[in-house]
Chain A
């Protein structure tokens, strides 16, 4: 039996093959890591024009109750975000937390009318659905939507591309969500993404995904982008990757995600792990996720030990690689809070050799979201 026999495919798999993608296993799926252009060219294209990303492996879930507020109330038991405060057509970033405040997954929660729609990570989607069902029995129905594909279009030209197909896209602001019609197919699009660029994430029926992807790729600004560049883009944008920068051993406060915890939630609590998370907000977390800029050209990878100027271990890299926009190595990781201030000098133990680095502000590349 080949190792790929148990791997799933997204509705766009045949198109990836046709486009010459190099396919790798990722989160239980056969996914394109890069196309013939290569990761650096794909990265640069997304920063300068528009990239198309297949993110259909991610989990789309509808949480259904009598009305939106009932569904939002239910979800708020499991996330620290202010979900009840969402207006129709808006979305928020939040996390599923465990009883000790660790992160089970991070997700987007969106309101369309009375509907509450979630997008969760591929590797966590079964666990998330089970978690929702276990905690929300009798409060909300958990409807997984494997029949839907998800395509992201990201980059400074994304808005022009999507608005050419449906002019209603133009007026959408960052973190808004709306019905769009692309090539005659009803889609749900949010103005959001995972690159730091302006862009859209578009949910559509799986059977229409190839036709819509072809329509998007037929626009002169758009090229297909693989998971390799998706990772370098999000790292430059300072965005967390679940299972690496955040997991059950890290809290939203340590991860620098306190901004995503609603004001009302900080007073009321009422979510899993609230006691430890609210205490960390009040007292400060013992360690913090920071950006780290190595000196020189040697990348420092995930799990590289971080030392202080005297050589004492004070942290660990959780994401590290090469930032094509900066043309050099970049990392994120956790350091003890005494060493978390911008500019603090550190050493990265790369293959046993200490290499100088310093704490740097995130994001490494400024976000270019379309805010109102």
Chain B
């Protein structure tokens, strides 16, 4: 069973055992507009909760993507190099950014579940 959690920086994290898949939310891709480039970390790289882990660029601007939790990158989504617009088309599916091996599952506790994130996003308007 996988669990999905969300950050207030609009990243999502789907956890399966001690492996987590990370991406940006539909709200985030919609705010960014057309994504034209994604810079991803390399496998083996350590990322730290709340620190920059990737960069996503729209036509207008570059935005940092933060690691929702601390861990080691085990895979980056190479398909985004050729098709960055996948982030717009399917942000929570084929538009994933990276897979992490979790360093501390306890860090998941502070993240929002889907209902809490939905309320959070509604509060932004």
Contacts and interface: CB of A to CB of B under 8 A. Distances in A.
Contacts of A257: none
B107 to A, nearest CB: 26
B63 to A, nearest CB: 11
A81 interface: no
25 contacts: A33-B60, A39-B33, A39-B34, A39-B59, A40-B34, A40-B59, A228-B33, A228-B59, A228-B60, A231-B60, A232-B59, A297-B37, A297-B81, A297-B84, A298-B37, A298-B57, A299-B36, A299-B37, A299-B57, A301-B62, A321-B60, A322-B36, A322-B59, A351-B39, A351-B55
Contacts of A298: 37, 39, 57
Chain A interface bracket (under 10, 10 to 19, 20 to 34, 35 or more): 10 to 19
A89 interface: no
A243 interface: no
B115 interface: no
B36 A38 contact: no
A43 B84 CA distance: 18
A43 B58 CA distance: 14
Contact of B37 (A38, A39, A40, A322): A322
Q: Which 7 A-B pairs have the closest CB atoms?
A: A322-B36, A39-B59, A40-B34, A322-B59, A297-B37, A38-B34, A299-B57
Q: For the side of the interface on B, what is the size category?
A: 10 to 19
Q: Is the interface of A mostly helix, strand, loop or mixed?
A: mixed
B61 interface: yes
Given A39-B33, A39-B34, A298-B37, A324 B62 contact: no
A219 B34 CA distance: 26
Interface string B23-50: 0000000000110110100000000000
Given A231-B60, A297-B37, A298-B37, 9 more contacts: A34-B33, A228-B33, A297-B36, A297-B84, A299-B37, A301-B61, A301-B62, A322-B57, A351-B39
A232 B34 CA distance: 12
Nearest to A320: B62
A323 to B, nearest CB: 9
Most A C-beta atoms less than 10 A away, residue of B36, B62, B84: B36
A195 B108 CA distance: 48
A156 interface: no
A322 B34 CA distance: 10
A234 to B, nearest CB: 13
Interface in A5-38: 33-34, 38
Contacts of B55: 351
A40 B88 CA distance: 12
Contacts of B34: 38-40
A34 B32 CA distance: 11
Interface string A125-140: 0000000000000000
Contacts of A324: 59
Contact of A39 (B60, B62, B84): B60
Contacts of B39: 298, 351
Contacts of A39: 33-34, 58-60
A108 to B, nearest CB: 26
Nearest to A297: B37
Contacts of B61: 301
Nearest to B60: A228
Interface in A226-248: 228, 231-232
Nearest to A24: B60
A333 interface: no
B88 to A, nearest CB: 8
Nearest to A231: B60
B66 to A, nearest CB: 15
A178 to B, nearest CB: 34
Contacts of A231: 60
B33 A329 contact: no
A351 B62 CA distance: 11
Contacts of B60: 33, 39, 228, 231, 321
